Amino acid sequence: MGCDDRALATKDGVSVRIARIEDLSHIVEIERESFPGYDHAFNYGILELWHAHNPEIFMVLENGNGPILGYCAIVPVTERLFREIVNGRVSSLSSFPRVDVLRQWRKSQYIHFEVIALRSDREFSTAIGAFYLRFAKSWAEDRAPFITASPITPVGVKLCQAYGFRKIAEERIHSHTYPIYLSSPQERA
């Protein structure tokens, strides 16, 4: 289950590839920039555990062989975990039971779109950002008919709505409420 360095997609000098272990520190930086205050849910230790479990969960957007511009985490899950997500019981990789996250990519029925984030301090075109979003959505749809997402920012909610996800539930954690969205063949038709 080694990491493949080949580009999964390219556009205008940037490429998407599976993240390597040495990319995790860059992912943590992007995570902290994009989601301040969530270190408890997505820190280096958690990323390292999940990368060891299934390194293909994490993909990076890279400028040539240069800096990491962004990353996404697309998680293949069991039907049991999918049901927990759609019922609003759990919505974050940091709290998923490892037994319910598939160790390898194969045609799955269920995927959880954990995150997509781009560096805020890098200059790149809106077209590159749109390319990355389209790639990530297409990657997930090619692998599973049922995709959940639980955005924690207003931008994430807008992206879910713009890409045809339907709000189906909410997860409550202490005083916070997180929406849960679903994309299925019915929504995409």
**Mean pLDDT value across residues 103-121:** 81
Residue 22 lies in a domain: yes
**Mean pLDDT value across residues 152-175:** 86
Residue 1 lies in a domain: no
Q: Token digits for 7?
A: 């580009």
Residue 3 lies in a domain: no
**Looking at the predicted structure, is the pLDDT value of residue 65 above 90?**
no
Residue 145 lies in a domain: yes
Q: Which CATH number covers residue 96?
A: 3.40.630.30
Residue 121 lies in a domain: yes
Query: Where do runs of H (alpha helix) occur along 79-119?
Result: 79-86
According to the model, what pLDDT value does residue 51 have? 94
CA–CA distance, 78 with 109 (Å, rounded to integer):
8
Whether residue 166 contacts residue 182, with contact meaning beta carbons closer than 8 Å, is answered with yes
Give the pTM: 0.87
Picking from 146, 127, 135, the residue whose alpha carbon sits closest to that of residue 71 is: 135
Number of domains in the chain: 1
Q: Token digits for 3?
A: 């990491």
Whether residue 115 contacts residue 134, with contact meaning beta carbons closer than 8 Å, is answered with no
Residue 97 lies in a domain: yes
Residue 80 lies in a domain: yes
Which structural domain, as residue segments, surrounds residue 148?
A: 9-188
Whether residue 60 contacts residue 19, with contact meaning beta carbons closer than 8 Å, is answered with yes
What is the amino acid identity at position 137? K
According to the model, what pLDDT value does residue 107 have? 65
Which helix (H) or strand (E) element contains residue 15? strand 14-18
Residue 2 lies in a domain: no
Label residue 121 by pLDDT band (50, 70, 90): low
According to the model, what pLDDT value does residue 4 have? 53
